[in-house]
Amino acid sequence: MPTIYRYETPLVVDQARYNQLINRAGYFTTPTKAQSKIGESMYGDPRLGKRLYNDLSPFNIPLPLGIPQHANSANFISRLTTSIQAQGCNVALGEYSPTVYFVDNGTPRADVTLEGYDGTTRIMRNVPIPSHAVVDPSDDAHMCILDMTRGIEYDFFGMAKTNGVWAATWGCVYPTTSSGFLPYGLSARATGAA
């Protein structure tokens, strides 16, 4: 039977502490040779069994041994099991899941106008977008583009192509060797996560 663990992160109480945490977590840096020695050969194209993001990424940090089991773990699992048996298990496959495209140097390039929430228009230049690309059909209209040749991930929210021109409400670019997180929730999914 699965177990729910209690895993809490420290509260950030001031900007200096926040900066210390994000720098320690590798948001703006990549690991040193010593830090990435084990994971170095694991970085790369996920289609080839490799992984995205560095060893300091929350996506790649295993939970430590000895985390106490949550006091209500059995109840959580029981309720989850009962719900799945009664209603089935819904996984967001048709919408509210970003479409993901792997691109390379031969992929056509386009500028994407970012019409952000702050009223400022920006342009993300020379984004590799396949000619057959479509966005998530939900209102979120997400799209993710992975350029493993250059080690870059592009994420978009509110993406649309109108009269051959791409525009999005928000867009982000991450190195695939970063932590996969941006500070302040500035990702295309508003969580900071890629």
* 102, amino acid identity: F
pLDDT band at 88 (very low <50, low <70, confident <90, very high): confident
Running DSSP on this structure, what letter comes out for residue 186? -
* SS3 sequence of 72-122: CHHHHHHHHHHHHHHHCCCCCCCCCCCEEEEECCCCCEEEEEEECCCCCEE
Q: In which residue are the tokens 């690991």 written?
A: 31
Query: Which tokens hold the place of 85?
Result: 């048996």
Number of helices and strands (H, E) in the chain? 3, 8
Q: What is the pLDDT of residues 48-61, one digit of tens each?
A: 888 888 888 888 87
Query: Which tokens hold the place of 109?
Result: 């390039």
Q: What is the pLDDT of residues 12-34, one digit of tens each?
A: 334 454 444 445 444 444 444 44
